[in-house]
Amino acid sequence: MRSDLIYGALTHVSNRYQLCQLASKATRKLHKPNTRVQDTTNEVMARFRYQNPVAVTPIVEEKAKVQQQRRAA
pLDDT at 64: 62
Distance of CA 27 to the CA centre of its chain: 9
pLDDT per residue over 7-64, tens digit each? 888 888 888 898 889 899 989 998 999 999 999 999 999 888 888 777 755 555 566 6
Q: What pTM, to 2 d.p., does this model score?
A: 0.66
pLDDT at 67: 62
Question: Which residue from 18, 11, 24, 17 is spatially nearest to 52, judged by alpha carbons?
Answer: 11
Q: How many CB atoms lie within 10 A of CB 17?
A: 8
